[in-house]
Amino acid sequence: AQSVTQPDIHITVSEGASLELRCNYSYGATPYLFWYVQSPGQGLQLLLKYFSGDTLVQDIKGFEAEFKRSQYSFNLRKPSVHWSDAAEYFCAVVSNTGGFKTIFGAGTRLFVKA
Amino acid sequence: GAVVSQHPSRVICKSGTSVKIECRSLDFQATTMFWYRQFPKQSLMLMATSNEGSKATYEQGVEKDKFLINHASLTLSTLTVTSAHPEDSSFYICSARDQRWTEAFFGQGTRLTVV
């Protein structure tokens, strides 16, 4: 069965510093990969997704994620973190052989210090 | 993206009673819906998958008689927590997808508190 590993339970970054959240998946074929963000007590918001094509995906808020097939990774990065980025980040994978279920990693809690 | 609406957003019920949570796809046909549970400071755990007009498929360890799922139409799935107990208190989130899509879209979640 497919699985997702987020090795860091929590990360603390200074405001303005760069960020990288790690995500590894276990799946044989090309997976569909996602990053979601969740603020306390709130639902999920989709940040980025990768299905195919360019292995670097970006959003308008400065987040980017890179799919590296050889490393089974889909790490999330941001060059300069803002205090409002503090939240829980979940990496997730969907496989078309798994009934299109979304399987989530354990999550990484991001703390931003002034 | 497509919109999934979940209702209610919060509910408090007494121990022993049942509570129903609705998940609606507002602008697409949800041939498949998924129900997740999230305990505090934990990740989302898939409880069950439901296909419209079929019985739900439950993940291992999820009691199907306790968590009743109905997916009778292409826009609505319901999760009923029967005889709720305090340990059922959790955040429940649904997601829905059209059969043509890879991606599922998530509802806003329901915070259930059993007292």
Q: Which two tokens stand for residue B112?
A: 């259930």
Which residues in chain B have Cβ-Cβ distances shorter than 8 Å to A42?
108-109
Instruction: Closest CB to B102: pick one of A41, A43, A51.
Output: A51
Q: What is the pLDDT of residues B5-50, one digit of tens each?
A: 999 999 999 999 999 999 999 999 999 999 999 999 899 999 999 9
Q: Do B109 and A43 touch (CB under 8 A)?
A: yes
Q: What is the pLDDT of residues A4-54, one digit of tens each?
A: 999 999 999 999 999 999 999 987 677 899 999 999 889 999 999 999 889
User: Nearest-CA distance from A73 to chain B in Å?
Assistant: 19
Q: Count CB atoms within 10 A of the CB of residue A42.
A: 13
